[in-house]
């Protein structure tokens, strides 16, 4: 079962409005398509006579040591894809040895997500994604819920001072979740009755001081998601970030920014090894993972492919996505003469049409 086949099966299965919610991007969706096409501009230059019969693809991440450099990026409303929702995703990620980043906008509460992950593995790595809320006590309450549930890191999304303008959702009139669905992590918190797609209030003017204050409220590692500019990467490190995630929100925010992959090398240079650099956006095959790691990423996140796997085949579909990417990556690493992730280096990547 290929990722493309799972996507096609999901499209046939889903309500078209719900499909559009996940598949769509902001405005004219230029960034959405650029994230994928960026990988087509890069080619790998293999090394020869230096490989190994077996390879170690272990990735060491904040609060986790996983079997492959792939994590499940935060995506909202998994129960729109499948009745088991985030619980199925959690079991699949844990069984495949991948970090799961569960979101504030999950349709399953974080304690239930972590419990489901523990059904599949004794030591799952579940990170909790959150936004800086305009009311500090709400942000702190979410942090406490994540800690008590057993999450091993926090991921603060910082590219969403306002929601992106999702043309497909506007055309479809999709503004509210179906009956019985809610942003469960917001339940019982002030100012956020669950039910609407905009039930996740976010600070309209978050600052680095807000981030630093959040980091001081927890002993968990805190990563910053939504970095594109190298100066912001340096600021993140200076304000105590345990990792930065290069991301344009899957093309769902500003439709006039570069592809995430194109921003990765400059961010890696800016961080200069002081903290792990992760990225998401457009990863669709194992060779994409290899390109990103060669350009300096520690691991890559996948979002939409996980949702298609969930819609098509539930937990088994998510496992198929993660296993396929892991196996394709291991195969690519072998063909490039690598024994471990660190063997993929910047000099092994060229832009299409260029030569060394």
From 133, 181, 249, 331, active-site residue: 249
Q: How many domains does the chain have?
A: 1
State which residues form the domain around 85. Answer: 3-351
Give domain status of residue 168, yes or no.
yes
Write out 257-297 in H/E/C secondary structure: CCCHHHHHHHHHHHHCCCCCEEEECCCCCHHHHHHHHHCCC
The answer to whether residue 249 is catalytic is yes
pTM: 0.95
Q: Cα(307)–Cα(301) distance, rounded to whole angstroms?
A: 13
Give domain status of residue 238, yes or no.
yes
DSSP codes, 188-206? TSTT--BTBTT-S---SS-
CB 272 within 8 A of CB 233: no
Give domain status of residue 129, yes or no.
yes
Give domain status of residue 23, yes or no.
yes
Give domain status of residue 356, yes or no.
no
CATH label of the domain that carries residue 317: 3.20.20.70
Give domain status of residue 258, yes or no.
yes
Which residues does residue 57 pair with via DSSP β-bridges, in sequence order?
none
* Pairing mode, strands 153-157 and 126-130: parallel
Per-residue pLDDT of the chain (356 residues; tens, 9 = 90+): 689 999 999 999 999 999 999 999 999 999 999 999 999 999 999 999 998 889 999 999 998 888 899 999 999 999 999 999 999 999 999 999 999 999 999 999 999 999 999 999 999 999 999 999 888 888 999 999 999 999 999 999 999 878 889 999 999 999 888 998 988 998 888 765 555 565 566 666 789 999 999 999 999 999 999 999 999 999 999 999 999 999 999 999 999 999 999 999 999 999 999 999 999 999 999 999 999 999 999 999 999 999 999 999 999 999 999 999 999 999 999 999 999 999 999 999 999 877 66
Residues 6 or more apart from 332 whose CB is under 8 A from it?
44, 286, 287, 289, 290
């Amino acid at each position: 079962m290929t990722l493309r086949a799972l996507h096609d099966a999901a499209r046939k299965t889903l309500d078209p409005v719900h499909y559009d919610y996940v598949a769509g991007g902001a405005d004219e969706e230029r960034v959405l398509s650029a994230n994928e096409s960026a990988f087509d501009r890069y080619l790998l230059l293999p090394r020869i006579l230096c490989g190994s019969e077996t390879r170690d693809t272990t990735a060491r991440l904040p609060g986790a040591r996983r079997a492959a450099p792939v994590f499940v990026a935060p995506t909202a409303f998994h129960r729109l894809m499948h009745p088991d929702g985030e619980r199925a995703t959690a079991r699949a990620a844990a069984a495949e040895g991948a970090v799961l980043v569960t979101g504030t906008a999950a349709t399953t509460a974080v304690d239930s997500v972590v419990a489901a992950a523990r059904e599949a593995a004794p030591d799952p790595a579940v990170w909790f994604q959150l936004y800086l809320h305009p009311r500090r006590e709400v942000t702190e309450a979410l942090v406490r819920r994540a800690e008590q549930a057993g999450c091993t890191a926090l991921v603060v999304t910082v590219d969403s001072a306002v929601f992106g303008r999702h043309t497909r959702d506007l055309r479809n009139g999709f503004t509210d979740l179906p009956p019985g669905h809610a942003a469960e992590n917001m339940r019982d918190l002030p100012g956020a009755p669950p039910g609407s797609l905009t039930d996740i209030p976010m600070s309209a003017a978050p600052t680095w001081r807000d981030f630093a204050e959040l980091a001081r409220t927890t002993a968990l590692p805190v990563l910053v998601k939504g970095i594109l500019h190298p100066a912001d990467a340096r600021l993140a490190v200076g304000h105590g970030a345990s990792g930065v995630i290069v991301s344009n929100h899957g093309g769902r925010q500003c439709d006039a920014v570069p592809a995430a992959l194109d921003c990765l090398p400059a961010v890696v240079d800016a961080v200069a090894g002081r903290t792990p650099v992760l990225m998401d956006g457009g990863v669709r095959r194992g060779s994409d993972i290899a390109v990103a790691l060669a350009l300096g990423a520690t691991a890559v996140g996948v979002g939409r492919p996980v949702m298609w796997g969930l819609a098509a085949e539930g937990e088994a579909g998510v496992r198929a996505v993660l296993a396929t990417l892991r196996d394709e990556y291991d195969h690519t690493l072998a063909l490039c003469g690598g024994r471990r992730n660190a063997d993929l280096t910047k000099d092994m990547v060229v832009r299409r049409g260029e030569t060394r």
